[in-house]
Amino acid sequence: MEDVLIVGQTPPPINGQTTMIEELLKGRYHGIRLHHVRTKFSRNIEEVGSFQFRKILILLSTFVDIVRARLRSRAKILYFPPAGPNLIAVIRDILLLAGTRWMFQFTVLHFHAAGLTEIYPRLPRLLRPLYNIAYRNADLAIFTAHSSSVAGSVLGARSISIVPNGIPDCAEKHTLNNRHIEPYVPCILFMGILCEGKGLLTLIDACSLLKENGISFRVVCAGTYGFGTTCEEIDALIASRGLKQHFSFPGVVFNDKKAEVFKEADVFCFPSHYFAESSPVVLIEAMSFRLPIVTTNWRGIPDIVGGSGGAFVVEPKRPDLVAECLAKLLTDQELRNVMGRKNRIWFSENGTIEKHRERIESALLSIQGLSQNHLL
């Protein structure tokens, strides 16, 4: 049994990375035993990637927690999820990893966010050696999508594994609403950080085009505002397009409420061009609920939906293309049903949390040196 120390944040805040770390920790494994040091740098989405003096104290306490956990667990493997291309978050990771990697025989970097290597040229020269100590030559680099795995080679990882995200099958116990009752207004669902990068403004522009073409629809946008996008800005934009009666914002949804929002939707729209996007967990959730998807050809998104047959994938920042695809789905219930079934099949074969945990355990046990020791 190999002991693994996982250093990472679990909800709150709720995002793909924190959710996946939480689900990983909940698993039962045959060959690994997980220990956890919870980082607490961000209390909500608005604090992610921002500088606060309290985070300096948290950084110091996290370092102490890692040392204690290493001595207590005797873990040989350090598992760490690097930040995306955000300077504050990268500096935090550099200091933490440079100060702790040496205590472990093996280092595993699990890239839930994309774009880390893009920030290297922007780093102060004094930090570049520490960047190399922190991120280069990991024993294993895990990526959620093939499209982002080139970063593993750039960083000199000794081994690279592709482990797609997976989620619990919360949709299995839910029955979809009866959608043929008239009059019925089809529902477009957007879920994630309510910001420009996730495609919210693109969706609003696309809906303006749908309205001009006389297509019936309503939109539910679930999530919290962040990254410079405010409620006042979005309200004003929606009002200026005459779309107030079309949009509703239930906020962040959890558990049964979240399932209900998915269950009541007809189409999932996620036109992201988010700077750190990798493999959005929310797309897998939508597929599990048999929703057809309209999304973008951006980072790891095509790796998730491209082979399912249940998604339209368009170029980022193209509301005209998003509107065209939404129009096809909103006006054709049979097309929605067919694409939704294909997404459910893909999820059952590829997107469950059980498959994700199996792949993570297999990847960890395959680390060069660790696997050789097991053979001796």
Write down the pLDDT at residue 178. Answer: 46
Q: Is the pLDDT of residue 196 over 50?
A: yes
Average pLDDT over residues 165-180: 74
Q: Is the pLDDT of residue 371 over 50?
A: yes
Write down the pLDDT at residue 376. Answer: 44
Write down the pLDDT at residue 248. Answer: 97
Q: Which superfamily, per CATH, for 2-166+353-375?
A: Glycogen Phosphorylase B; (3.40.50.2000)
Q: Is the pLDDT of residue 372 over 70?
A: no
pLDDT tens digit sequence for 259-291: 999 999 999 999 999 998 989 999 999 999 999
Q: How far apart are CA 343 and CA 327, in angstroms?
A: 19
Write down the pLDDT at residue 98. Answer: 95
Please state, in angstroms and as integers, the Cα–Cα distance from residue 109 to each residue in 86, 134, 140, 142, 310, following that order: 17, 10, 6, 6, 31
Q: Is the pLDDT of residue 36 over 50?
A: yes
pLDDT tens digit sequence for 108-130: 999 999 989 999 999 999 999 99
pLDDT tens digit sequence for 51-82: 888 999 999 999 999 999 999 999 999 999 99
DSSP E strands, 9-123: 32-38, 77-80, 106-111
Question: Residue ranges of the domains in the chain?
Answer: 2-166+353-375, 187-350
pLDDT tens digit sequence for 205-256: 999 999 999 999 999 999 999 888 999 999 999 999 999 999 999 999 988 9
Does this chain's domain 2-166+353-375 share its CATH topology with 187-350? yes
Give 118's contacts (C-beta < 8 A, 6+ positions apart).
85
pLDDT tens digit sequence for 308-355: 999 999 999 999 999 999 999 999 999 999 999 999 999 999 999 999
Instruction: For the chain, give the percent of residues with pLDDT over 70.
Output: 96
Closest to 326 (Cα-Cα) out of 189, 195, 192: 189
CATH 2.40.170.20 fits 187-350, yes or no: no
